[in-house]
């Protein structure tokens, strides 16, 4: 990446630090915060988790204070927001203590209603989206080389903190404020409701596929056919992979898998000896499950020599142990992959338009978010729940 981009990123950081110093040095910082709050004619309000019990359908609708506005930000009038498993992990503090109160949701799609003066790629009225990341230093080696998703100062779209100390809030809400660097334009060829779950669920499996050679001549395995897994099947098929093999516990989703483009289906709890029958058959496996009880050692048996196993599902507990010779004996590799950058998301969205890819979603009213997260946790989604901010959708249609 060019030096010009590095200098631009540094300038953005300097502006944030300058604003922080201004607030700290003020005799009455609350005055600045109140002015920022009153500068827009809309309220920031959404479904708030107040403690770890909120994951049981106990979120509360209330107003909150968004991040302090800078001229590098964008405000989005939310029309749709996908429900991700990460939302539930966060609501119940499954990955560690969450910053309550929190408003989850990081598959945000809507319309830009306020755009900072320093933002060049978005204008008011554009269809935009924000995924799982809404902050990074933009000045470290990873950021400069286009790997913002691996920045050590990454800020999640919710339950995180920006350099000035203000918190990040997500998309189970009416509006979202985020640094515009992490907002992407949504192509006209995609419906906002379908684009929303791509912003996290889609790119989380897009990256390990395209970064590890998925395409013609390759045989791909997908562990788990849920929100992430169904995207992996759609992408792998559209990328031209020779085989797309779904690996699930039962045959309950076999018909759906074939309709999505799977060429083979393995039911690990119903197909006796599945790991032996299919040994050394796959070049790449993308695992989307987040169960610490998954039969990992048997999954590794499915890899061909020099095969790769990439884990994207994030269990709350450790993954199962396995014998090192599962990798050594075949020269295999095991790795992980974390979401995607704004550039990755843009590439993926354009690919979806080009290949006419449509995820399988179920729209749920934002007003019923509590019920939706409970049903999501129980495994009822087929294959991604998307919350609909009905009043904003109706306003857009008017």
pLDDT at residue 158 is higher than 80:
yes
Instruction: Give burial (CB, 10 Å; 0-12/13-18/19+) of 124.
Output: exposed
Q: Is 105 left (phi over 0), alpha (psi -120 to 50) or beta?
A: left
pLDDT at residue 2 is higher than 70:
no
What is the count of structural domains for the chain?
2
Buried residues in 45-75 as b, exposed as e (16+ CB within 10 A): ebbbbeebebbebebebeeeebbbbbebbbb
Query: Which of 10-19, 37-46, 248-257, 299-308 is predicted least confidently?
Result: 10-19
Give the pLDDT score at 10. Answer: 47
Quick check: is 29 in a domain? no
- In this structure, the answer to whether residues 253 and 293 fall within a common structural domain is yes
Q: How far apart are CA 314 and CA 290, in angstroms?
A: 5
pLDDT at residue 21 is higher than 70:
no
Element (H, E) at 86: helix 85-91
Give the pLDDT score at 17. Answer: 44
Q: How far apart are CA 216 and CA 326, in angstroms?
A: 26
Q: How far apart are CA 82 and CA 376, in angstroms?
A: 11
Quick check: is 59 in a domain? yes
Q: What is the mean pLDDT of residues 286-290?
A: 95
- In this structure, the answer to whether residues 49 and 195 fall within a common structural domain is yes
pLDDT at residue 253 is higher than 50:
yes
- In this structure, the answer to whether residues 225 and 274 fall within a common structural domain is yes
- In this structure, the answer to whether residues 231 and 268 fall within a common structural domain is yes
- In this structure, the answer to whether residues 327 and 386 fall within a common structural domain is no
49: helix, coil or strand? Answer: strand
310 closest CA partner among 329, 349, 282, 346: 282
- In this structure, the answer to whether residues 327 and 188 fall within a common structural domain is no
Give the pLDDT score at 398. Answer: 85
196-208 pLDDT tens trace: 999 999 999 999 9
- In this structure, the answer to whether residues 309 and 208 fall within a common structural domain is yes
Structural domain ending residue among the three candidates 301, 336, 371: 336
38-97 pLDDT tens trace: 479 999 999 999 999 999 999 999 999 999 999 999 999 999 999 999 999 999 999 999
Q: Are 133 and 210 in contact (CB under 8 A)?
A: no
Q: How far apart are CA 195 and CA 80, in angstroms?
A: 9
Quick check: is 385 in a domain? yes
Write down the pTM of the prediction. 0.90
368 confidence band (pLDDT: 50, 70, 90): very high
Give the pLDDT score at 321. Answer: 92
Contacts of 204 (CB under 8 A, 6+ apart): 132, 228, 231, 312, 337, 338, 339, 340
Quick check: is 150 in a domain? yes
Give the pLDDT score at 7. Answer: 39
DSSP letters along 232-295, please?
HHHHHHHTT-SEEEEEESSGGGHHHHHHHT-SEEEETTTSTTHHHHTTT-EEEEEE----TTS-
Q: How far apart are CA 81 and CA 368, in angstroms?
A: 13
Instruction: Report the CATH number that the domain containing residue 274 is assigned in CATH.
Output: 3.40.50.720
Q: What is the mean pLDDT of residues 289-310?
A: 96
12 closest CA partner among 60, 71, 80: 71
- In this structure, the answer to whether residues 53 and 120 fall within a common structural domain is yes
- Pairwise pLDDT comparison (134 vs 316), residue with the higher score: 134
Which domain covers residue 255, as residue numbers? 202-336
pLDDT at residue 211 is higher than 50:
yes
Q: From the CB of residue 195, how many other CB atoms can be counted at a distance below 10 Å? A: 28
pLDDT at residue 14 is higher than 80:
no
- β-partners of residue 110 are 78, 128
Q: From the CB of residue 263, how many other CB atoms can be counted at a distance below 10 Å? A: 17
122 closest CA partner among 346, 321, 379, 310: 346
Instruction: Report the CATH number that the domain containing residue 72 is assigned in CATH.
Output: 3.90.180.10
Give the pLDDT score at 6. Answer: 36
Q: What is the mean pLDDT of residues 341-367?
A: 98
Give the pLDDT score at 33. Answer: 47
Give the pLDDT score at 315. Answer: 86
Quick check: is 135 in a domain? yes
- In this structure, the answer to whether residues 248 and 234 fall within a common structural domain is yes
């Amino acid at each position: 990446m060019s030096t010009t981009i590095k200098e631009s990123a540094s300038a953005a950081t300097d502006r944030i630090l300058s604003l922080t110093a201004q607030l700290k040095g003020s005799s009455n910082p609350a005055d600045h915060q109140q002015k920022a709050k009153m500068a827009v004619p809309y309220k920031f309000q959404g479904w708030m988790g107040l403690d770890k019990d909120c994951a049981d359908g106990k979120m509360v609708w209330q107003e909150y204070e968004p991040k302090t506005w800078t001229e590098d930000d964008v405000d989005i009038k939310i029309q749709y927001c996908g429900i991700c498993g990460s939302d539930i992990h966060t609501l119940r503090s499954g990955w560690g203590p969450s910053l309550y109160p929190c408003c989850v949701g990081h598959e945000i799609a809507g319309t830009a209603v306020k755009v900072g003066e320093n933002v060049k790629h978005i204008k008011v009225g554009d269809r935009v989206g924000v995924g799982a990341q809404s902050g990074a230093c933009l000045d470290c080696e990873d950021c400069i080389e286009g790997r913002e998703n691996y920045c050590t100062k990454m800020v999640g779209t919710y339950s995180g903190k920006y350099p000035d100390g203000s918190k990040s809030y997500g998309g189970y809400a009416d509006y979202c404020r985020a640094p515009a660097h992490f907002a992407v334009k949504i192509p006209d060829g995609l419906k906002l409701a379908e684009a929303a779950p791509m912003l996290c669920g889609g790119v989380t499996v897009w990256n390990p596929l395209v970064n590890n050679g998925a395409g013609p001549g390759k045989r791909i395995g997908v562990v788990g056919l849920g929100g992430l897994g169904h995207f992996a099947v759609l992408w792998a098929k559209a990328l031209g992979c020779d085989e797309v093999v779904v690996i699930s516990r039962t045959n309950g989703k076999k018909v759906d898998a074939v309709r999505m483009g799977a060429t083979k289906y393995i039911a690990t709890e119903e197909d006796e000896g599945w790991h032996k029958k299919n040994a050394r058959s796959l070049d790449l496996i993308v695992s989307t499950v987040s169960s610490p009880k998954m039969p990992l050692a048997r999954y590794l048996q499915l890899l061909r020599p020099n095969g790769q196993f990439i884990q994207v599902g994030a269990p709350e507990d450790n993954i199962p142990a396995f014998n090192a010779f599962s990798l050594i004996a075949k020269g295999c590799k095991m790795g992980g992959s974390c979401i995607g950058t704004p550039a990755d998301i843009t590439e993926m969205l354009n690919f979806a338009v080009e290949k006419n890819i449509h995820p399988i979603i179920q729209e749920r009213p934002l007003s019923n978010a509590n019920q939706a997260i409970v049903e999501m946790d129980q495994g009822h989604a087929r294959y991604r729940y998307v919350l609909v901010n009905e009043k904003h959708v109706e306003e857009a249609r008017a």
